[in-house]
Structure 1
Amino acid sequence: MAGVIQTTVRRSTPALLLTRVRDRSPGLAAGLLGGALAAGLGLAAFAMLVILLWISSPYPDSGADGALHIAAALWLLAHGAELIRTDTLSGVPAPLGVPPLLLLALPVWLLHRVARDAADGGAAGGAPPAPGRTVWTGVVLGYLAVGTPAALYAAGGALRPAWTSTGVCVPLVAVAAAGAGVWTAYGRPSGPLERTLGRVLPRGARHLVLGPDGRPGVAARAAAAGTAVLAGGGALLLVASLGWHGGETRRAFLGLTEGWSGRLAVLLLGVTLVPNAAVWAAAYALGPGFLLGTGTLVTPFSSAPAPLLPPFPLLAAVPDAGEGTPLNWAAGAVPVLAGAVAGWCVGRGAAAGGEGGGPAGARPGRAPAAPWSRGRTAGAAALAAVLCAALLTVLATLAGGPLGVASLSRFGPVGWQVGAATLVWIGLVATVTALAVRDWRCRTSRGGRPGRAGQAGRIGGPREEHPYGGGPKEDGSTSSTGGTASTGFAGGRRIRALRYPARAVGARPARAPEQRAAASGTPDGRGARLRAAWRLARTAGARAAWAPKAPPAADKGPGGEGGDCGPYDFLPVDPPPGALDPAGDRQCP
């Protein structure tokens, strides 16, 4: 019996220790498991694709082991790591450092998803979310725990990883993507971003990048819009150039390999490199262009003769060698449009007081914000240009790299040159556009139709319907004649009726019977009564035509059904005391 108890205690000790560690660091186990799962799924996806192409290839050069080595190397290349190709004709190892940007989306999405789910795992049963730093650390460590053996395994193949770039790029992608996932799980709080921006930006510029409510600021939104237009414009230039060189593109695609499996591999490689080619085209439109080898620069002004390159379909879109033509210069419309879009975003936000809303610049429940000054508007446009230049610099750096040695040691755009050109283009165009949009929207809000309508609404106060169609109400305010009116109608007669209710039709002071008799020329004043009846009938017809329809119960006058003062039910104001009923000589109370 004692032996059984001792064995039970010994067996339960590791479980107790694991439970104690889990209680002290909640979320760590989920993070480790999620990071390892993300790395394993990414490697499995690349392995399935490579093995499928290897099986369908009529001329496989190596066995399944070689295909798996290539899959691990491609997984590292997707993170931005540089590879070394050893099986060259000259025997000199050649670097391969142009990462397909489309492949980067898979590991980033997997890391983001597992980090978000690991942080939300503690809140599934109503418990608070797991600590963000613990989950983030667990995901990164779990991802690197699988990625390190994969890199060591890839080192035994034909494409070997360069250890310096591998040790920098893979952890950097894991840290950034996992951090974004944890941040999303916590509802994207603005505190961490504010603390980070507070170390590098002053207070005024920090609010332009990150708004007070945690959303992207005016400058950040403008920079994102400008970058999207530049990338989209580069993609359009790529498609146009491929169509222009359609014959060369088709010959390169059909002549590079034979068989449907080889052409499928070329097609997949071209699709993964389309984002790279779009960034190259954007750099071409900005002016610095891109390199097709050392000393071979392609710009809208001139293109040097390219060295002997493989007949790849995307390379067929490279402009012809020689001096630039007006058709090449037309690519400059892309950065102009990007600067105009960024400037429009800044000008719209400046006119709205930074809210980014409508002309009033206020949200529900807030007072209208004052428009920015011209200096602050220009500063926001300049900051948007700086952010856009930083984004283009990163994209241009990632989109290029070496494809070999000697003349093939540099391919693609130069990052700092693209960033400088973006700063000039976006800075000039966005500043001019932002100032113009800001002045135009401010002028429209002051002197346009919406401004006059708002002024009329302020003069008349709330447009509520009076029980009798107009005149003073119980709270002392005055409503417009004829019930509820639209704020867009602000005629002179309506405003005068609002300011001087005593002058409204039907509100004239009553005269004594002697005065009416003297005016009509008859002792009994019957002529005055006839004229009064005609005037009341005409007024009632006009009011009934203009006034909104009321429910049947509201059609009854103050006297009710069968009252003594029926004709006065149509008057817009209370009948004057002592007025005679047109049907007889009785006076209304």
Structure 2
Amino acid sequence: MTDDSLSPAARLQALADRLRDRSPALAGCLFGGAVAAGLGLGAYAVVVMALWIGSPYPDSGPGGATGTAVSLWLLGHGVGLTRADTLTGVPAPLGLTPLLLALLPFWLVRRAARDAAEPETPQAPEIPARTVVWGVTGGYTAVGALAALYATGGELRPTLREAAWHLPLLALAAALTGLRSVRGRGADAPSPAGPDGGSGGVRAALAGRRGATACRAGLAAALTLAGGGAVLVGVSLTLHRDPARASYLMLTDVWSGRLAVLLLALALLPNAVIWGAAYALGTGFQVGTGTLVTPLAATSGPALPPFPLLAAVPPDGSGTPLTWACAAIPVVAGITAGWFTGRAAAPDRSSGTDAEGAPPPWSAPVTAATAALAALVAGLVCAVAARAAGGPLGTGRLAELGPVWWAAGGAALAWTLLLGVPTALALRAWRLRTRKPREAGSGGGRWAGAGLFGIAMTGTGLAVPGAADGGTDPEARPGADADIEEEAAESDDDPERVDPLDWWERVSRPDPVAALGGSFGTPYDLYDQLPAHGPEDWRALPAEEQAPPGERPAGREPDA
């Protein structure tokens, strides 16, 4: 019986049955998202209430402190705030989001999604990924909407239009990362063009393993830029430590106020790192309307407000060799993207043998396309980060703060494209080079040849002349032990390395000539520098034919 033959009542009953089957899992995911939002709000409320209690001059009651905590929680999601109570009577926007405030909400949502995706018992059925993601996101967004409505009556009022998409966007991204941490990702899609690439291979670089490689390379370049920005911030704060300390002490003289300033500076550190990365890219950042700070020149305008991080801004004037050296950061970032792409494009064949199970190498066009895609990823990441790290603080001079997002993204794209593509192609060519493998019995490489006293140096120790090529006498090794042959056949980390202990063990045997692979026909080559007492006194004898002192071995005639 098909669904078309069912009556409307039967269809409604079937739909109700399906909803009843899914309702426990969906309800659990919704509850997990709501709990994550509540924990985040509670954490912010605890910090704000502690500072409010310790403040000697509170200008509002507990309700105002709670509203401030909710507004800060929304600000951590990128929701802009507006302060209506100003000296001029004009509402002042507060759009500069301290990026560290977003860390706690993101982690809480990620943990909620991970807990929902993990089955309680091995026998429990697995909750569908769609239910986990949308359930956690929906529960979190519902609590966030109530919080935004509550904060509209406070001093810092959120922009509801931004809250309508910032809250679910952060929750969705965090839920996806939590789900991926439990169930991983699907297998990479195979390339439809095969290993040779061609035009189809270039198009296939946008998906599958090549797309994942491009994402990793682009993120590596962006992280390299962020690391360079962190170094610049640290160096600038060190060079301007006296002004930074003076501005910190100038803001307030009570412990609660100084603690609040310190927490705000720490929350703004990721913003400063992104500003430093934009500075290294050459596009710089703004510290007010009509200002621009770049490595070539800095125009910061009038004196900035006292704040420790603003004290680290370079002074007005042209650049110096120290500021010009910041160009090394995007250079390293571009090379990093190319290095990641080149390593994935080809296996290392320098040893002369292909790695077992290694995928086929990519063609040069596919490698270049993947590196270009990595540059695009790096540019997008930098543009989004620059957009999130800036924002207005009022309607006056500080109405424009932070990097220009499109300029920072374009500069990151250009640097990574110009340096990443050649680096990837060069590394691919280097890893595809082949070296002729060493042939068995060909000797010891650069150590082979005649050595001191006519002794040849080989990869396994010392040998008499003729040992390097195996000798011509078929019975050249009648006295060699089986363990010596096994030791000579064993692989070593460096086949051309000479081990003195191994050489001493060989020459200290009863028959050193046979142990070293020589011939019994020329037993005196090892002893041509010793006093000549008689051939029978210096003749090397096999171990099994050793004779007592003073007696001649059986079966050996005296030399004429």
Rounded Cα–Cα distance in structure 1 between residues aligned with 2:340 and 2:188: 25
Q: Tell me the secondary structure at the aligned position of residue 119 of structure 2.
A: helix
The aligned residue for residue 291 of structure 1 is 286
**Greater alpha carbon shift after TM alignment, 425-434 vs 147-156:** 425-434
Q: Tell me the secondary structure at the aligned position of residue 84 of structure 1.
A: strand
* 435, 439, 451: which one aligns with 1:456: 439
Q: Tell me the secondary structure at the aligned position of residue 313 of structure 1.
A: coil
The superposition leaves residues 383-437 of structure 1 with CA deviations (integer Å, 9 ceiling, x where unpaired) of 2211111111111111011111143322111111111111111111223333333
Matched, 1:163 2:172: no
Matched, 1:235 2:230: yes
Q: Tell me the secondary structure at the aligned position of residue 113 of structure 2.
A: helix
The superposition leaves residues 530-560 of structure 1 with CA deviations (integer Å, 9 ceiling, x where unpaired) of xxxxxxxx9943344679xxxxxxxxxxxxx
Letter in 1 for 2:389: A
Relative to 1, partners in 2 of residues 1:383 and 1:19: Cα closer, same or farther, differing over 3 Å? closer
Relative to 1, partners in 2 of residues 1:374 and 1:202: Cα closer, same or farther, differing over 3 Å? closer
Rounded Cα–Cα distance in structure 2 between residues aligned with 1:488 and 1:211: 47
Rounded Cα–Cα distance in structure 2 between residues aligned with 1:65 and 1:147: 18
Q: Tell me the secondary structure at the aligned position of residue 286 of structure 2.
A: strand
Is the Cα–Cα contact under 8 Å of residues 302 and 322 in structure 1 kept in the other structure? yes
Rounded Cα–Cα distance in structure 2 between residues aligned with 1:417 and 1:65: 42
Relative to 1, partners in 2 of residues 1:401 and 1:441: Cα closer, same or farther, differing over 3 Å? same
Rounded Cα–Cα distance in structure 2 between residues aligned with 1:433 and 1:91: 57
Deviation at 1:148, TM superposition (A): 1.2
Relative to 1, partners in 2 of residues 1:583 and 1:204: Cα closer, same or farther, differing over 3 Å? farther
Relative to 1, partners in 2 of residues 1:247 and 1:92: Cα closer, same or farther, differing over 3 Å? same
Q: Tell me the secondary structure at the aligned position of residue 102 of structure 1.
A: helix
The aligned residue for residue 143 of structure 2 is 146
1:101-120 matches, cutoff 5 A? 101-120=99-118
Cα root mean square deviation, aligned: 3.7
1:315-394 matches, cutoff 5 A? 315-352=310-347, 365-366=356-357, 368-369=358-359, 371-394=361-384
TM-score (structure 2 length as normaliser) = 0.74
Q: Tell me the secondary structure at the aligned position of residue 314 of structure 2.
A: coil
The aligned residue for residue 394 of structure 2 is 404
Deviation at 1:92, TM superposition (A): 0.9
Deviation at 1:38, TM superposition (A): 0.3
Rounded Cα–Cα distance in structure 2 between residues aligned with 1:270 and 1:192: 45
Letter in 1 for 2:180: W
Letter in 2 for 1:261: S
Matched, 1:260 2:255: yes
* 127, 131, 150: which one aligns with 1:134: 131
Is the Cα–Cα contact under 8 Å of residues 392 and 422 in structure 1 kept in the other structure? yes
Deviation at 1:220, TM superposition (A): 2.5
The superposition leaves residues 162-181 of structure 1 with CA deviations (integer Å, 9 ceiling, x where unpaired) of 11111111111111211222
**Identity across the alignment (%):** 49
**Greater alpha carbon shift after TM alignment, 425-434 vs 28-37:** 425-434
Rounded Cα–Cα distance in structure 1 between residues aligned with 2:362 and 2:18: 57
The aligned residue for residue 417 of structure 1 is 407
Rounded Cα–Cα distance in structure 1 between residues aligned with 2:460 and 2:347: 22
Q: Tell me the secondary structure at the aligned position of residue 239 of structure 1.
A: helix
The aligned residue for residue 75 of structure 1 is 73
Rounded Cα–Cα distance in structure 1 between residues aligned with 2:104 and 2:354: 40
Relative to 1, partners in 2 of residues 1:347 and 1:361: Cα closer, same or farther, differing over 3 Å? farther
* 267, 272, 276: which one aligns with 1:277: 272
Relative to 1, partners in 2 of residues 1:242 and 1:33: Cα closer, same or farther, differing over 3 Å? same
Rounded Cα–Cα distance in structure 1 between residues aligned with 2:516 and 2:363: 49
The aligned residue for residue 520 of structure 1 is none
Letter in 1 for 2:75: L
The aligned residue for residue 209 of structure 2 is 211
* 476, 483, 499: which one aligns with 1:505: 476
Q: Tell me the secondary structure at the aligned position of residue 121 of structure 1.
A: coil
* 196, 218, 221: which one aligns with 2:216: 221
* 74, 92, 103: which one aligns with 1:94: 92
Q: Tell me the secondary structure at the aligned position of residue 82 of structure 2.
A: strand
Letter in 1 for 2:399: S
Rounded Cα–Cα distance in structure 1 between residues aligned with 2:442 and 2:376: 46
Rounded Cα–Cα distance in structure 2 between residues aligned with 1:41 and 1:139: 14
Q: Tell me the secondary structure at the aligned position of residue 81 of structure 1.
A: coil
Is the Cα–Cα contact under 8 Å of residues 234 and 278 in structure 1 kept in the other structure? yes
Relative to 1, partners in 2 of residues 1:57 and 1:543: Cα closer, same or farther, differing over 3 Å? farther
Q: Give the gaps of 5 or more residues in structure 1.
A: 1-16, 195-200, 461-484, 508-537, 548-566, 572-581
Letter in 2 for 1:456: E
Relative to 1, partners in 2 of residues 1:505 and 1:330: Cα closer, same or farther, differing over 3 Å? same
Q: Tell me the secondary structure at the aligned position of residue 118 of structure 2.
A: helix
Q: Tell me the secondary structure at the aligned position of residue 456 of structure 1.
A: coil
Rounded Cα–Cα distance in structure 2 between residues aligned with 1:488 and 1:102: 62
Is the Cα–Cα contact under 8 Å of residues 27 and 119 in structure 1 kept in the other structure? no
The aligned residue for residue 60 of structure 2 is 62
TM-score (structure 1 length as normaliser) = 0.71
Letter in 1 for 2:181: T
Q: Give the gaps of 5 or more residues in structure 2.
A: 1-14, 192-198, 444-457, 479-508, 519-540, 546-552
Q: Tell me the secondary structure at the aligned position of residue 58 of structure 2.
A: coil
Deviation at 1:61, TM superposition (A): 1.2
The aligned residue for residue 244 of structure 1 is 239
How many residues matched? 465
The superposition leaves residues 243-297 of structure 1 with CA deviations (integer Å, 9 ceiling, x where unpaired) of 1111110111000111111111101100111010010011011011111222211
Is the Cα–Cα contact under 8 Å of residues 350 and 432 in structure 2 kept in the other structure? no
Is the Cα–Cα contact under 8 Å of residues 202 and 365 in structure 2 kept in the other structure? no
Relative to 1, partners in 2 of residues 1:187 and 1:378: Cα closer, same or farther, differing over 3 Å? closer
Is the Cα–Cα contact under 8 Å of residues 285 and 300 in structure 1 kept in the other structure? yes
The superposition leaves residues 94-145 of structure 1 with CA deviations (integer Å, 9 ceiling, x where unpaired) of 11111111111111111111111111135x2422321111122211121122
The superposition leaves residues 455-480 of structure 1 with CA deviations (integer Å, 9 ceiling, x where unpaired) of 436999xxxxxxxxxxxxxxxxxxxx
The superposition leaves residues 365-399 of structure 1 with CA deviations (integer Å, 9 ceiling, x where unpaired) of 51x55544444433332222111111111111110
Relative to 1, partners in 2 of residues 1:114 and 1:305: Cα closer, same or farther, differing over 3 Å? closer
Relative to 1, partners in 2 of residues 1:488 and 1:456: Cα closer, same or farther, differing over 3 Å? farther
Letter in 2 for 1:267: L
Is the Cα–Cα contact under 8 Å of residues 359 and 441 in structure 1 kept in the other structure? no
Relative to 1, partners in 2 of residues 1:179 and 1:375: Cα closer, same or farther, differing over 3 Å? closer
1:541-556 matches, cutoff 5 A? 541-544=512-515
Q: Tell me the secondary structure at the aligned position of residue 279 of structure 1.
A: helix
Deviation at 1:495, TM superposition (A): 7.9
**Greater alpha carbon shift after TM alignment, 144-153 vs 38-47:** 144-153
Rounded Cα–Cα distance in structure 2 between residues aligned with 1:249 and 1:209: 48
1:188-199 matches, cutoff 5 A? 188-190=185-187
Matched, 1:186 2:169: no
**Greater alpha carbon shift after TM alignment, 406-415 vs 30-39:** 406-415
Deviation at 1:347, TM superposition (A): 2.8
Relative to 1, partners in 2 of residues 1:501 and 1:342: Cα closer, same or farther, differing over 3 Å? farther
* 288, 304, 315: which one aligns with 1:309: 304
1:465-480 matches, cutoff 5 A? none
Relative to 1, partners in 2 of residues 1:179 and 1:436: Cα closer, same or farther, differing over 3 Å? closer
1:516-527 matches, cutoff 5 A? none
Rounded Cα–Cα distance in structure 2 between residues aligned with 1:409 and 1:218: 39
Deviation at 1:51, TM superposition (A): 0.6
Q: Tell me the secondary structure at the aligned position of residue 100 of structure 2.
A: coil
